[in-house]
Every structure is written in structure tokens, then in C-alpha cells.
Amino acid sequence: MVKMPVRETASGPRAVVRCDDLGVAPYSDSDDYLFRPYLGAGHAATLDRIAAWMTEAGMTARVDAAGNIVGRYEGRHPDAPALVIGSHVDSVRDGGRYDGMLGVMLGIETVAWFAERGHRFAFAIEVVGFGDEEGSRFPVSMLATRAVAGVLGDQDLALVDAAGVGLAEALDGFGLDVARFADAGRKREDILAYVEAHIEQGPVLEAEGHALGVVSAIAAQYRFRAVVTGVAGHAGTMAMRLRHDALAAAAEMVLAVERIGGAGPEDLVATVGRMEVGPGVPNVVPGAVTFSIDIRAGVDAVRDRAAEAIQAALPEIAARRGVGLDLTLQQDLPATPCDSGLSALMADAVSEVTGAAPRVLVSGAGHDAMVMARLAPVSMLFLRCRGGISHNPAEAVEAEDVQVALEAMTAFVIRFEQTGAGAGAALTQEER
């Protein structure tokens, strides 16, 4: 890959270059590919580099109690509430360089653009790089984001990774205390809104010729675990008519999931992404199969109807084929609508910089915004990515698109100020 020259002033191309810089060791835990799990060595090195860039952009930088990096560009009044721009800094194993990280870099470039012009607002601007959106290390996702939003609930923090390292030990390596993890929580009155720029992770924008899109909602999601129990037997001696083949039954179930997902509106998707077959040898009729079912839609009702149809179809297949079936709900995430007022501001900003009406779409993937919506109104800006590829080293963006995204982000912030969305921040503590 040929590196673009780094501009000295805020720019989209500089955001791309910085994502590329962070795509290799020491900012990755692997020398061979990008893998930046939460609280790992690559994470630590990345936070140091991001903190330096935040400082250069005119912010103060700190790491909060949950291991998130937070930069703050003060407003005209000390301790003013903040407009937060953020995304995540962690990566899946052998992932791409722009998923999450590009949103953080765009946040820094947005602040740098205003700082270069000496523009301060009635509100502060904060840029947050969340530590673990992907859940690539511990068996939960968005743990540090939930800490910021104050929605940890009864989450057990005695978590252990695949190598046997506990969350408490990992935090201690960052100079943090698991007993103070919830101290990362923010007060509602201190956060005016949350904005996240992110690659689409899908092919719609590229297919339709749009550089940017405005997200209307983050899809509702169900995740089920299906266990099919048949009878294992010798592949050469068990007659076909007498078989209770768990894999053949599971295959029909997978096709039913696909059929139901394809019969709904455009935003409905249903996926079987993982399957384990037992005993898993060539000359034995499979006796047990475990597979995942992921169902997503832009609104809860559409997702729920699809789930009901699947829950009706699969037991019928199991009964007809003489196999057992156990369906367990593992994850239930409601749809997260983006704030209509903020979305209108973002749509106007995109229209201004592109000269066209923005493409509005539902995000099928989960994002930090869906957690932050529990704390403050949220808005999301999508950037097209080449081929719709994500979570893959082939993940790619065009520098020109990122420049347009930066222009849209700065236009959004100006509109946020002009429309009075942050008007409450203009009051002093006494006036409040």
C-alpha cells in the first residue's frame, strides 16, 4: 500500500493515514495481521498514540476507569456539557483498519478543524475511543461503552479471557482498578448528544453511488443457539429410511431460516453463521449439530415476527425428521432509533457537502451508539467501504470519501450550534 502524504492541517486523508499507521505492530498484538483486543499491548500503544494526536488537535486527553481514551476540547465556559464524537479502537482478529478507528480519527480531525480556526462553542466537544465494542477478548461486547453509559446493571466483572487472564488483572496492567470500573459512567446532564461516524460494513452505499449515508436506526437483534439431536450410526450400514440424521435436519432448518429472512422487508436479515457437527467423521451419520441463528431488522416488530416464524418452522422439521431440537435465546437487543432531530441535522450537513439528498439506511451491525443512546440522543454517519467488506484485511475506504465525511461532520457541529441544539450549554452554572 502506498501511503498518502500527511497534511499538516485537519483532513480526511490524514485520518486514513493514521488508521493505516495503527494497523500494524506495535499497535496490534500480532506481527502478521491486525488484532487489537481490549486491554492488550496493542491497545496500550494505540491509546498512547491517540492521546498524542488529541493533544496536537487542541484537546486534553485521559484514559477513563474502563480503559477508554477521552479527549476534550473545552467550550467557552469551563465544565460545559459536551457533544461527544466517538467509536471504538479495538479490532477483531485479522480485521480491517477502518472499522471503528476511522470514526475516532474523524472525531479528532473535526476538533482539529475548529481548533485551527480558533472556534470555541457554548459546549465542549469530546472524542471517545471505546475499548471493547467487538468483544474480541472477554465473553461480552461493549463492556466499556456500557460503563460510560451507566448501564452495567448486574454485569459480573469476574470475566476471564481464553488465556485465563481476568479482567481485573488486565485492568491492573493499565493502572486501573476493577472496583472502580463503573466510575467511567457519565451523567446525563453532562452529555448533550453522541455522534458516530463509521464505515457502512455493507454494500448499499457503494452500489448506489453514495459516499455517505445517514443512519435512521440500528437493527434489533436476536441470537439463538439451536441444538439438534439425532442418532449417530455407521454411514455404510444404516439404511437411509431409518436414519435420524442431525445434519440433514439442520440443513433443512438452515434453509428455512434463509427463506423466512428473505420473505420480509429489505432490512430483515436472518443468518446461520456457525455450525458444529458431531461426531464429525466421514463414515458416521451425524448425531448432533449445534448452530447459531442471528435475526436482525430495523424495528422490533419485524424481527419478532421472523423469530416467531423460525421458532414455528424448526420444531416442525425436527418432528418430521425424528430428531430433537433445543432452541435457546442468547441475545436480545432492541432496535435503537437515532434521534430524529440530530438525524435531520446530519442529513442537512450531508446534503450541503454532497449536493444531493442523503441516502438514509438502517444499520444491520451493532455499534457503540446503541449503548450510548441509553445516555443521550444519538446520530450516525455512514461512509461507503469498498465491496462492503469489513472485519477483513481487505477493508478499504477512499480518502476522498473521508474528506467529504469530515466536511459533513464539521457542518453538523456548526448546525448543532446554530439550531440551538446545544443552547442549554450556553448558560453559565449560575444561569442554570
Is 74 a known ligand-binding residue?
A: no
- Whether 1 is in a domain gets the answer no
Domain-ending residue, one of 306, 333, 360? 333
Q: Per residue in 394-411, pLDDT tens?
A: 999 999 999 999 999 999
Is 77 a known ligand-binding residue?
A: no
Same domain, 190 and 52: yes
- Whether 432 is in a domain gets the answer no
Is 223 a known ligand-binding residue?
A: yes
Is 430 a known ligand-binding residue?
A: no
Is 367 a known ligand-binding residue?
A: no
What pLDDT was estimated at residue 421?
A: 62
Domain-ending residue, one of 312, 333, 354? 333
> Mean of the pLDDT values across residues 204-229?
95
Q: Per-residue DSSP letters for 239-255?
A: -GGG---HHHHHHHHHH
Is 134 a known ligand-binding residue?
A: yes
Q: Per residue in 378-399, pLDDT tens?
A: 999 999 999 999 999 999 999 9
Is 186 a known ligand-binding residue?
A: no
**Whether residue 427 has pLDDT greater than 90:** no
Q: How confident is residue 423, by pLDDT bands cut at 50, 70 and 90?
A: low
C-alpha cell at 41: 499491548
Same domain, 49 and 165: yes
C-alpha cell at 325: 431440537
Lowest mean pLDDT among 137-141, 178-182, 243-247: 137-141
Q: What is the CATH number of the domain that holds 325?
A: 3.30.70.360
Quick one: angle between helices 12-21 and 399-418, nearest 10?
120
> Mean of the pLDDT values across residues 106-120?
97
Q: What is the CATH number of the domain that holds 172?
A: 3.40.630.10
What pLDDT was estimated at residue 270?
A: 97
- Whether 2 is in a domain gets the answer no
This model's pTM is above 0.95 = no
Share of the chain above pLDDT 70, in %: 95
- Whether 40 is in a domain gets the answer yes
Same domain, 97 and 133: yes
What pLDDT was estimated at residue 340?
A: 95
Same domain, 239 and 155: no
Same domain, 239 and 99: no
- Which residues form the domain of 230? 220-333
Same domain, 104 and 253: no
Q: How confident is residue 432, by pLDDT bands cut at 50, 70 and 90?
A: very low
Longest dimension (CA), the chain: 86
Task: Give me the number of domains the chain comprises.
Answer: 2
Domain-ending residue, one of 284, 312, 333? 333
Q: How confident is residue 422, by pLDDT bands cut at 50, 70 and 90?
A: low
Alpha-carbon distance of 325 to 290, in angstroms, equals 10
Same domain, 278 and 375: no
Same domain, 121 and 191: yes
Identify any residues that bridge with 234 across adjacent strands, giving them in sequence order: 284
Same domain, 324 and 342: no
Tell me if 205 sits within 8 A of 397, measured CB to CB: no
- Whether 283 is in a domain gets the answer yes
What pLDDT was estimated at residue 267?
A: 87
> Mean of the pLDDT values across residues 85-108?
97
**Whether residue 6 has pLDDT greater than 50:** no
Count of C-beta atoms within a 10 Å radius of residue 417 = 18
- Whether 273 is in a domain gets the answer yes
Same domain, 253 and 396: no
Three-class SS state of 29: coil
Same domain, 75 and 169: yes
Same domain, 327 and 192: no
- Whether 4 is in a domain gets the answer no
Is 68 a known ligand-binding residue?
A: no
- Whether 167 is in a domain gets the answer yes
